[in-house]
Amino acid sequence: MNRRPARLTLLALGIALPTVLLGAGWFTASLRERAMQAAAQRQRLQRSAAAIRAAVDESLEDLRRRENARPFYLYNHYYSPPELLALNDPIAVSPLAAAPDDRRVRGYFQVDPGVDGDGYTIRTPYTPHEAAPTDEATRGEELPAGTPAARASEMLALVTRESFADIRGLSFGDAGSAPGRMPSLTDERTLVAQAVQQAPLTTNLNQWSNYQQQDIVEAQRGDPLASARVQQRGRQAPVTSRNELSWGELEQQQVKQRAAPQSSYGSSSSNRRDDAAREQPVGEPETQDDGNPYSGNAFLDAQIKLPAQALRPEPPSVAPGPAQVVDYTPMRFTDVGGVPVLVRVVSHAGTGSVQGVILDGDYIERDWLPALLERHALEDDGPAPTLTRAPEGCALALPISANLPGLQLCYAEDAAARDGHDTSLALQTGILLGLLSVIATAGVAINRASRRAEELAAQRAAFVSAVSHELRTPLTTVRMHAEMLREGLVAPERRARVHEELTRESVRLSRLIDNVLTVSRLEAGRHTLERSEGDLAAFMERVAEGQQSRIERAGFELRVRVPDAPLMSCFDGQAVEQIIVNLVDNALKYAQDADHPEIELEARAGPRDAIELHVRDRGPGIPESARARVFDRFFRVQRPEDAHLPGTGLGLALVRDLARAHGGEARVDARPGGGADFCVTLPRDAPD
């Protein structure tokens, strides 16, 4: 009996398992293909980012090389161009004093060490005078935008920030002159005292150039002394040569300078001579061994060649000395509080000055880089990169350049590709889930069908057994009594009783056959109701009268309750009689052991223009868990005390089927005081 369900289960597994494996393999291959596409897209974006970074780095390196190539003296406002030859000193304004022609450049600055290690001096090529960081008037002055003074003020405000402390700290040594003080050229003694210092070119060439420019200006105004100085000085600008110095070598130089007990520029004898010059009263120039107060100092001779009537004795003509070596570190990028800066250190005679180029980070980020990104955008319809400092939300974020920290290339996920992938993935997931759902549903259905088949097989077997028993019992009785009558074995006084038993058993047999045939016709859809208009309450009374003798012989008391007014309805009398008789049979079967066996029949008007037929008993009742199934075919409440009772399991099922055929319903409730209350609801009018 169990072989067929087992075969169905194996068949379901044989179909479902390969289907699931194929679906899972297809879904896995789809996910793998999507991952490969994502990896290929990521590599493509990384190549695009590498090309953009290369373009940015190349352009920034060109900028760095250009700025690195500038000689140190261009950071002064005035300078003497070494490529020009003239009898008199040519003085030109540094090209850095003009507005930068590269919009990425914001401005230039130079940080010089102080005198005797006292502070530092900041100056720019925009004005001829140096600006001290303590010069509050210069720092707070409101100046017209775009003017040299405004650019100088802007550079001063930036470089004096706390974030630039490390940059300012790169300067070292002793400037050798008092910054920011310009002696009057008419006070020759002050000029001489100022000029005799053997000072470093990196810190003092600016002041010397200012002297030259003022001499030229004074000569143009008609000052004979200034004109004489210009004519006799000749081309005496200091000649320099460049020496490349690594940053590591610079650090070693700074360490040695800090460890020296005296000033780092010049020899100790020159330092002592420097000290003597500072201590000597103004107006008494230092006297040398040859008696000439100005000889032996090429730097001074290069500045001052006064006529005899201006200063006596007349200084001899001195030719320019050998080229003085100035050390340059290479320019390098650094980020100072969010401001991009190119910085280097130039040093001479043990003194180093910081020269820097402040870049316009806003312009670089707002205009220059977006234009560069547009030129190097992907040729196809791939996602275009944007600039960001917050990479959250980027599918891929990569630094745009090591020289511009914080700025990253952001590649947002391609919306079209993402939607396509999401749609494809959603579709594939939906198909796989749908397939699994179908397989699971089919498995559940097969399992339920298998269980139902087993249940039906068991119920049918029980039904066949019950019907066989129910048929055999009356047939045996009828045959036995017929044979007894034929053989004359029944006494005359018992013949009436035998005839009554024959009638009862034949009626029982007929009712059983009617039930089976009716159920068969209902299942096949061939049962037709023959309705007629009538009083349903009166009809119920007539059926009860026909069953009264049988009920009383079984030891039950019959009660019938009907209203005085007729309950008119359109019904099939034979079907209604089958309903009442089957309910009465059910009560006689299960309530025979009650303390007060009784059966109550009632007809009454129900809700929604319906009529209710009630058959009540005082039996054990129907458990609430079984009430929903008690009207199913072949179902019987499993109670040990009822196992011996005959029955086919069709009576109550036939009651519900006939009620539904009328357009009504059947239910069972617990009867107050114990027992069961079976209710059949029938409509007054025939359904359409």
Query: Is residue 235 domain-resident?
Result: yes
- Strand-pairing partners, residue 123, are 110
* Distance separating alpha carbons of residues 170 and 329, to the nearest angstrom: 12
Give the pair of three-digit tokens for residue 344.
């280097």
Q: Give the β-pairing of 240-244 and 324-328.
A: parallel
**Does residue 336 share a domain with residue 199?**
yes
With b for 16 or more beta-carbon neighbours within 10 A and e for fewer, the 560-578 pattern comes to bebeeeebebbbbbebbbb
**Does residue 122 share a domain with residue 199?**
yes
Tell me: pLDDT of 24 over 60. Answer: yes
Q: In this structure, are residues 90 and 84 in contact, taking their beta carbons and an 8 Å threshold? A: yes
**Does residue 376 share a domain with residue 273?**
no
Give the pair of three-digit tokens for residue 362.
């806003």
pTM, full prediction: 0.54
**Does residue 374 share a domain with residue 240?**
no
Q: In this structure, are residues 346 and 326 in contact, taking their beta carbons and an 8 Å threshold? A: yes
Query: Is residue 229 domain-resident?
Result: yes
Please write the tens of the pLDDT for every residue from 250-265: 888 888 777 765 444 4
Q: Considering only CA atoms, which of 343, 393, 589, 411 is closest in space to residue 48?
A: 411
Maximal C-alpha separation, the chain: 190
For the chain, how many residues are written? 688
CA distances from 210 to 93, 223, 567 (A): 11, 17, 131
**Does residue 229 share a domain with residue 151?**
yes
Region 646-665: what's the mean pLDDT? 82
For residue 475, give the 3-state DSSP assignment: helix
Query: Is residue 444 domain-resident?
Result: no
| pLDDT at residue 491, rounded to an integer | 80
Q: How many angstroms from the chain centroid is the CA of residue 178?
A: 61
Region 663-676: what's the mean pLDDT? 90
Residue 681's contacts (CB-CB under 8 Å, 6 or more residues apart) are 606, 610, 611, 612, 613, 659, 664, 665, 666, 667
* Distance separating alpha carbons of residues 30 and 13, to the nearest angstrom: 25
**Does residue 396 share a domain with residue 381?**
yes
Query: Is residue 198 domain-resident?
Result: yes
Query: Is residue 485 domain-resident?
Result: no
Domain count for the chain = 3
Domain containing 604 equals 529-683
Q: What angle do CA 312, 231, 348 make, to 5 degrees?
A: 85
Please write the tens of the pLDDT for every residue from 90-136: 788 899 999 899 999 999 999 999 876 678 889 999 988 655 444 44
State which amino acid sits at residue 358.
I
Q: In this structure, are residues 432 and 24 in contact, taking their beta carbons and an 8 Å threshold? A: yes
Query: Is residue 436 domain-resident?
Result: no
* Strand order, beta sheet including 665-670: 557-561, 598-606, 610-617, 676-683, 665-670
* Distance separating alpha carbons of residues 215 and 89, to the nearest angstrom: 10
**Does residue 90 share a domain with residue 53?**
no
DSSP 95: G
* Distance separating alpha carbons of residues 666 and 653, to the nearest angstrom: 10
Please write the tens of the pLDDT for every residue from 165-223: 999 999 988 876 544 444 444 444 334 334 434 568 888 778 777 777 787 788 788 88
Q: Give the β-pairing of 332-336 and 610-617.
A: unpaired
Query: Is residue 19 domain-resident?
Result: yes
Tell me: pLDDT of 353 over 90. Answer: yes
* Distance separating alpha carbons of residues 506 and 509, to the nearest angstrom: 5
Q: In this structure, are residues 130 and 180 in contact, taking their beta carbons and an 8 Å threshold? A: yes
Domain CATH code at residue 589? 3.30.565.10
**Does residue 349 share a domain with residue 379?**
no
- Strand-pairing partners, residue 334, are 341
Query: Is residue 429 domain-resident?
Result: no
Q: In this structure, are residues 368 and 375 in contact, taking their beta carbons and an 8 Å threshold? A: no
Per-residue confidence band for 523, with pLDDT thresholds at 50, 70 and 90: low
Region 626-655: what's the mean pLDDT? 73
Average pLDDT, the chain: 75
DSSP 367: I
| pLDDT at residue 342, rounded to an integer | 96
Tell me: pLDDT of 357 over 60. Answer: yes
Region 638-658: what's the mean pLDDT? 71
Tell me: pLDDT of 340 over 50. Answer: yes
**Does residue 256 share a domain with residue 113?**
yes
* Distance separating alpha carbons of residues 418 and 414, to the nearest angstrom: 6
Region 609-627: what's the mean pLDDT? 89
Tell me: pLDDT of 420 over 60. Answer: no
Q: Considering only CA atoms, which of 364, 373, 196, 203 is closest in space to residue 270?
A: 196
Of residues 417 and 278, which shows the higher confidence score?
Answer: 417
Q: In this structure, are residues 335 and 406 in contact, taking their beta carbons and an 8 Å threshold? A: yes
**Does residue 395 share a domain with residue 285?**
no
**Does residue 597 share a domain with residue 616?**
yes
User: Of 316, 341, 359, which closes a domain?
Assistant: 359
| pLDDT at residue 288, rounded to an integer | 36
Tell me: pLDDT of 313 over 60. Answer: no
Return the sign of the alpha-carbon dihedral for residues 589, 590, 593, 599: negative
| pLDDT at residue 84, rounded to an integer | 56
* Distance separating alpha carbons of residues 629 and 637, to the nearest angstrom: 9
Of 575-584, 641-650, 676-685, the one with minimum mean pLDDT is 641-650
**Does residue 80 share a domain with residue 57?**
no
Region 317-330: what's the mean pLDDT? 72
Of 94-108, 233-247, 305-319, 668-682, the one with minimum mean pLDDT is 305-319
Give the pair of three-digit tokens for residue 176.
């050798």
User: Of 396, 413, 430, which closes a domain?
Assistant: 413
- Strand-pairing partners, residue 243, are 327
Please write the tens of the pLDDT for every residue from 49-90: 888 899 999 999 999 999 999 999 999 998 877 665 444 557
* Distance separating alpha carbons of residues 384 and 375, to the nearest angstrom: 11
